[in-house]
Structure 1
Amino acid sequence: MSDASVDPTSLSLGELRALRARLQQEEDVVSFVRRIAQGRLDIVREERVRRGSGSHATAEPGALAAVFGQQQGAGSIRPPRDTDVSADHPRVVELTEICDRLHFADFADLDDGELTSLEAALSGFESAQSADRRDLFARIDALSRELVDRYKSGGATVDSLLD
């Protein structure tokens, strides 16, 4: 049975907490990799805008700072946690392979078709990470609701945190 199909009410308190902690760690990785993909996608989209404007300027650190300085949203309502993601994590490897295969490092030298392919691949990857993240949030929230219900009903106590 996969974690996604587990009924939170069927888990012991320890199993419930352990599963929630594991899913939170997984969500941390997804969020981290998603942010990297979004940053790379922002760079590629800014290159497309630059080309569309007819500018012959090349990407420079100051321009990249402007790209990353644009507000994209309110951010997460969850407090940040330390994220230690290994370079050999499958999600990182997948993003690296996309960037290597489509020559992200040389984006300014790509022709328009190649840039479009790179943008589409990064966008697809980012969308998949976003969908995974939403799914993880829903699962974490369901586990958290079950924990709250157990505290309210007396099925769990603060003392049980020390066990």
Structure 2
Amino acid sequence: MTDYLPGGRRRVDRVLAPDFVTGLDGLDLDQIRARRIEADQEETDLSYARRLLQGRIDILRAEQAARRGDGPMSGHPRTDEEIVKALSLVLADERRQDHGMGRHTVSEPSRIGEHRREAERAVADVGASATDDLSDEALAAAVAKLVDVEARVSRVRREVQGVVDALTAEIARRYAAGGVPVGAGS
């Protein structure tokens, strides 16, 4: 889905290519900043895809809980208001164990359509759109498959965050060394 492909043409392939962060001392500050912006945007897009997958996993897990007779979806809400209330409880679950690193970004996802299609393909691959039609075993398999995809997206996202950190460190090093006047940008 988002794994790095050496020589690939996608942004993630450029950002994770080994030469993206080697030889930074030979680049001017604007070039490093441009790379950081590109890596930052890829992290934002991966974060968006990850959250789409997590939301679907949360919904499927809520269906599993409902089948056991617990959770906000138990009793299968019927009215629009009941469904909205149940989904808001499912998607705002404070018990999540897979929160992100809390990185702050002002970027908006730039490839919303592409990432949505990737997430929808992952959901379609496991046949998880009509949960009522899935057996308990098929539902468990669907959750497992989406958890695997989400883990791969998270792994790539962490790799991209490492690139962002390396580029940020180089910019900070230059400021600290006095090679960049304070107020010359970020």
- TM-score interval (norm. to shorter): 0.7 to 0.9
* Identity within the alignment, %: 28
CA distance in 2, matches of 1:24, 1:140: 6
Q: How many residues align?
A: 161
1:76 positional shift = 4.6
Q: Secondary structure at the match of 2:185?
A: helix
1:123 to 142, 147, 159: 147
1:159 positional shift = 5.6
Query: In the alignment, which residue of structure 2 is the partner of 1:69?
Result: 92
- 1:147 to 2:147 alignment: no
1:83 positional shift = 1.5
1:53 positional shift = 3.0
What TM-score, normalized to structure 2? 0.74
What TM-score, normalized to structure 1? 0.84
2:103 to 72, 75, 78: 78
Structure 2 portions without partners, runs of 5+: 1-6, 8-13, 78-82
Please give the per-residue CA displacement for 1:99-147, whole angstroms capped at 9, x wherever unaligned.
1233332123211122122111210111011111111111111111110
Q: Where has structure 1 moved over 4 Å in runs of 4 or more?
A: 73-76
Q: Secondary structure at the match of 1:104?
A: coil
Structure 1 portions without partners, runs of 5+: none
Query: In the alignment, which residue of structure 1 is the partner of 2:65?
Result: 49
Note if contact 1:58-1:108 (Cα within 8 Å) is conserved in structure 2.
no
1:75 positional shift = 5.4
User: Greater relative contact order: 1 or 2 (C-alpha under 8 angstroms, separation 6 or more)?
Assistant: 1
1:48 positional shift = 1.1
- 1:13 to 2:29 alignment: yes
The worse-fitting range, judged by mean Cα deviation, of 67-76 and 37-46 is: 67-76
* Higher helix proportion: 1
Note if contact 2:41-2:109 (Cα within 8 Å) is conserved in structure 1.
no
